Amino acid sequence: MRLRWVVPLLALAACDETVGGQKPVGGDMDSEAALQRFVRRATLDLAGQPPSETELADATSRLAAAGNAPSVRAALVDERLGRSEFGDVFIGELENGIFGGNSLAAQYELVCSLTRGTNPACDTCTSTDSCACQCDMLPTYFAEREALRTARTDFMAGMASSTIERRYAEAYAYYVLAGEPEGRVRTLFDDFLMKIAEADDLENGRSMINGALIPGSPAGLMFHRHGASYDDLLDIIFESEAYREAIVRRVFNRYLAREPSAVELAHFVDTLDAEAPDARDLVRAVMSSREYFDQ
């Protein structure tokens, strides 16, 4: 779902209307240094590296010619969102957050090494890649790792950020170190909902992970939805309003270094798709705002 650029009552929608001479109402034209600062910061945030001199000059010229219009800032942000470097940054930050500072490769090496070192059946394996051993859970870990290695490509091809995050959450190597089912629920809440799981959440999540006693019957209730398996639990979490709120909070904290106001939170949650929310439109709106430019 595309976001509207003019959002009434929000701090993000600071006045960018122009009068004669293409000057913002109530002030002078933004300086070349300010325009360059925006281009450098936006490129660093989205590509993880500064712009080239040619890229900096071109973007600055476009902004100056348009009077630093928010639509031009949005276009520049959009171009950077479409580059492969943004996929690297997004996936890298996701893995760093949910794997406790590890990359995908490091997380799977850790999990596979622990499995290999505690199972005598793996003693005959001579592979330098522990996940490549054909014993215990290692074939499953190997398949998971190879599938997750396509995450950046799939994300840049248009797959929603929520779908990518759910793919990580359903992997054994993500939750295996969390321990008991209650630990898995706590980890999900912490990593993807940015909130502490309460006692009822832990109990109902544990019941879903363990499964229903009677096939076909619900095992637990969360966010007003019943579930009977770990897949059901993930569906409930990643399709919840709480998850969409977490997306908004993460984007605001990442790019504006602050929490959204109640009005901002309600507005942007409403703009995200309920079933497969994607953070990119929200990133575009926040980074093309006057507040981001002025920081």
* pLDDT, tens only, 66-77: 999 999 999 999
Sorting pLDDT into bands at 50, 70 and 90, what band is 16? low
Q: Position 58: which residue type?
A: D
Q: What is the 3-state secondary structure (H, E, C) of 92-116?
A: HHHHHHHCCCCCHHHHHHHHHHHHH
What does DSSP assign to residue 50? Answer: P
Closest CA to 55 of 72, 80, 31: 80
Exposure string over 192-226, b if 16+ CB within 10 A, otherwise e:
bbeeebeeebbbbbbbbbeebeeeeeebbebeeee
**Look-up: residue for tokens 């348009």?**
66
At residue 225, φ and ψ (nearest 5 deg) are -130, 140
Which structure tokens are listed for 96? 């760093």
pLDDT at 122 over 80: yes
Q: Position 59: which residue type?
A: A
pLDDT at 13 over 50: no
Write the pLDDT tens digit of every residue in 221-265. 999 999 999 999 999 999 999 999 999 999 999 999 999 999 999
Identify the pLDDT of residue 210.
94
Task: Write down the pTM of the prediction.
Answer: 0.87
Sorting pLDDT into bands at 50, 70 and 90, what band is 194? very high
What's the rounded Cα separation, in Å, for the pair 136 and 47? Answer: 39
Question: Which residues, other chains included, contact 194 with Cβ-Cβ below 8 Å and sequence gap of 6+?
Answer: 246, 249, 250
CA atoms lying within 13 Å on the CB side of residue 155 = 31
Identify the pLDDT of residue 29.
82
How does DSSP assign 224-290, residue by residue?
TEEESSHHHHHHHHHTSHHHHHHHHHHHHHHHHSSPPPHHHHHHHHHHS-SSS--HHHHHHHHHTSH
Sequence spans of domains, the chain: 11-85, 98-177
Please, what is the average pLDDT of the chain? Answer: 91
What's the rounded mean pLDDT across residues 272-284? 95
